[in-house]
Structure 1
Amino acid sequence: MAASPSTARAINDRLALEFLQDEGPLTAGQLKALTGLSRPTVADLVERLQGSGLVTIVGETGGRRRGPNARLYGLVADRAHLAALDVRTQSVTVVVTDLLGATLAEAVLPIGSDTGTEPAVEGAAALLERTAREAGAVRLHSVGIGAPGLIDPVTGELRETSGLPAWHRRLVAALQERLTATVLVENETNLAAVAEQRVGAARDRGTDSFVLLWLGFGVGAALVLDGKVRRGASGGAGEIGFLPVPGTSGLPSATACDGGFHTLAGSAGICELAERHGLFAEAGPQEPPAAAVVRAAHTAGAAGDAFLDALAAPLAVGAAAISAVLDPGRVVLGGEVGQAGGTALASRVETRLAEMSPLRTEVVASSLGGAAVLRGALLTARDAAQNDLFAPPG
């Protein structure tokens, strides 16, 4: 059955808005070419979108062209303001952007392990509100939050998890109470995978399935299969830190990942391995110490090469376990450590993995590193704003 005129207009409007979001300012002629719509239809939708306050004229194309056909149309950037939070064990990072993703303000708040739940929650919430004011955001439309821990696949809420600060869970509820914005929370590694998929190392690589192996202070994994993040029955898919592996002194338990893959691939384990190879480096603020030593290995000569060879072995074991079950075709070494390792570490892991598994698996380094969590949270917030602002009226 053919769509009604109003439905067709809504579909065409959203299509044009998405091209303007992804491609930037466009002329009516460029919109016609991208959408495949007729010139009169494009002219009508541009007029409608200008009237709705979503689109405005932002300039003209090259110096030779003037008049209506040269006008560049773009989204109204301040039509909505977005925020993202990267909630770590001992810090919160906040960024506020406009609808186009331009950063307007950002800030970091360290939160010590001795800080009480309510002071931590109040400090993080106040940081967001203060950063929004500095950005000129009178009202936030959507807020994306990346946090460690499990997200309930039914309720979408951050579950209470042993070993994580109580203020994490309370913060999400507090922001939902204090803000009129849409507040969305997701596991930090899943958000990093969304960012790598859409703007990072997994973009345009010929497949819509991959696994992000997060290497930061701790370890984790995100599973993207057939283009979608897979969370598992309880939201725990990718808790690879609990994976039993050879080379540890024991086995993990239901309440602690000591003895699991975390022991070998977490920041502390990597630093111990580096010390055995005579490598030391000072980490930057909020940076996992392992990222510093991995980065230093690139200029440490034979000792650095030997360390990277040794580090590739346990990472390949974790990647082999994932590959044997899921056959994703690609593993992205993510987080600050994965980015610091770069091609030198990724190629070593790929070689070791090929020796253990008959399944062809490409291994690549993250292009976003630790920033992927905030980037993924912003993409999630932007999607929510688009679904609201780009929706047909009524």
Structure 2
Amino acid sequence: MATKSLPGTPSWLGATNDQKALALLLEYGVLTRNRLGELSGLSKPTASQMVSRLEAAGLIEPVGEIAGSRGPTAMSYGVRRKLAIGVAIDVQPEVTRSVVIDAAGGDYPVVEDFHARSRGDKDAATELTGAVHRACAQAGVDPARVRGAVVGVQAAVNASTGELSFTDEMPGWPRENINTRLSADLGFDVVVWNDVKVAAVAEREIGVGKDLGSFALFWVGNGLGVAFDIRGEVLAGASGGAGEIGYLSAPLRAADLDPRARDLQDLISGDAIASIAQAYGVSAERFEDLLAAIDASNERDGMLTQIAERVALGIAPVLAVLDPEAVILSGPVGVMGGDVLAREVAAAIENHTRWHPLIQSTGVTQPPVLAGAACVLKERLTEGLIAAITRP
């Protein structure tokens, strides 16, 4: 039986340095040996040894030469593409999106599968397997190479127990031990997130939340929800149910807007948006088509004003409880409404409350849930790749 090297021995230091080098290449992309030595704080000979070991292990490859201002050209190196493969998946009531992700940051096509709102004819494993295979086919990747998936769904997810709750949109999906069961069914690591919470991850990483200490991401689409980011940590709650604001009773003032609304879900999300649009003569069978029709309508601003009045009522309790630096409007309606909707919501809040919040439209240009799942998955793939360099 092999013995494990002690810290400080040459073999242990070599593996530690290789992990550091790979982490830098994953972070910066393409580096020369000299630049790798500068960033790692190690000598040029040590940097050359790290590159040689990583290249021999099949983890990195030469990607081109860089001409220096003085002296000969230098070979640059990058992490091999398609080395650590996963699939990010966004499961919504009318569409499932999926995309291949690799640790090196490769660019792969997003695949969309539109379907009826009820998915009772498919169990979760079948649905996710289909999403994985569609993404891999478009990316030219063998599905057998997939190491993991991160999935965003319209449900609260208890990370400690795997319980799925607060959902009416997931027929055929397990309600207990969801990560464990799906990982066993698919044969690789599967992690399920609430869609709004994982969209907040994208907003922090690549959206307008990058420079904020705290923000609330208010999601309006077929469903309704809010996610709270506090200094880069998304608040999950004891059971994963933090942010399920759609289940709050509608406030008294909501009766002036919609006397039938019993809760905020009734007041603000899919059916409510469709009702507003119908009053302007705008309709469509699918929700995404409805939003496109609203966006193209000459009455767009009038509809956004009415939507903003409702959204403001949903944001008011968020301001009273957390008082975040900003509220970011996301979800299909937030994306469609953009800065116009953000201004209308801010005005409605200031007209009817004592709050004067910063309301911003999302800065994520990709489908937000898929983008957040990709961020989480890339980090997991990166950590796994680095950890695979074992210290003998």
* Alignment correspondent of 1:377: 373
SS, match of residue 156 in structure 2: coil
CA distance in 2, matches of 1:226, 1:119: 37
Q: Is the 8 A contact 1:279 1:293 kept in 2?
A: no
Residue of structure 1 aligned with 2:358, choices 358, 362, 375:
362
CA distance in 2, matches of 1:195, 1:387: 18
TM-score (norm 1): 0.82
* Alignment correspondent of 2:271: 268
Q: Is the 8 A contact 2:152 2:369 kept in 1?
A: yes
- Number of aligned residues: 375
Q: What is the Cα deviation at residue 15 of structure 1?
A: 4.4
Cα distance change, pair 166–55 in 1 and its aligned pair in 2 (3 A): same
CA distance in 1, matches of 2:164, 2:351: 38
SS, match of residue 332 in structure 2: helix
Cα distance change, pair 116–238 in 1 and its aligned pair in 2 (3 A): closer
CA distance in 2, matches of 1:162, 1:97: 27
Q: What is the Cα deviation at residue 63 of structure 1?
A: 8.3
Q: What is the Cα deviation at residue 359 of structure 1?
A: 5.5
Q: Which has the higher contact order (CA 8 A, sep 6+)?
A: 2
* Alignment correspondent of 1:329: 325
Q: What is the Cα deviation at residue 75 of structure 1?
A: 0.9
Instruction: Report the more deviating stretch, 85-94 or 186-195.
Output: 85-94
Per-residue CA distance 1:165-219 (angstroms, 9 max, x = gap)? 332337866642233321111111111111111012322x3x2311111111111
Q: What is the Cα deviation at residue 93 of structure 1?
A: 2.2
Instruction: Report the more deviating stretch, 222-231 or 56-65.
Output: 56-65
Residue of structure 2 aligned with 1:186, choices 177, 193, 204:
193
SS, match of residue 199 in structure 2: helix
CA distance in 1, matches of 2:277, 2:132: 38
Give the partner amino acid of 1:94: S
1:145 aligned to 2:151? yes
Per-residue CA distance 1:122-152 (angstroms, 9 max, x = gap)? 3542442354355323310121111111111
Residue of structure 2 aligned with 1:234, choices 229, 234, 239:
239
* Alignment correspondent of 1:346: 342
* Alignment correspondent of 1:214: 219
List gaps (5 residues or longer) in structure 2: 1-6
Q: Is the 8 A contact 1:333 1:364 kept in 2?
A: yes
Q: Percent identity?
A: 29
1:393 aligned to 2:381? no
SS, match of residue 217 in structure 1: coil
TM-score (norm 2): 0.83
List gaps (5 residues or longer) in structure 1: 251-256
CA distance in 1, matches of 2:337, 2:14: 49
* Alignment correspondent of 1:292: 292
CA distance in 2, matches of 1:28, 1:113: 53
* Alignment correspondent of 1:94: 98
Cα distance change, pair 286–182 in 1 and its aligned pair in 2 (3 A): farther
Q: Is the 8 A contact 2:125 2:186 kept in 1?
A: no
CA distance in 2, matches of 1:27, 1:344: 46
RMSD: 3.2
Q: Is the 8 A contact 1:336 1:370 kept in 2?
A: no
Give the partner amino acid of 1:292: A
Cα distance change, pair 267–166 in 1 and its aligned pair in 2 (3 A): closer
SS, match of residue 86 in structure 1: strand
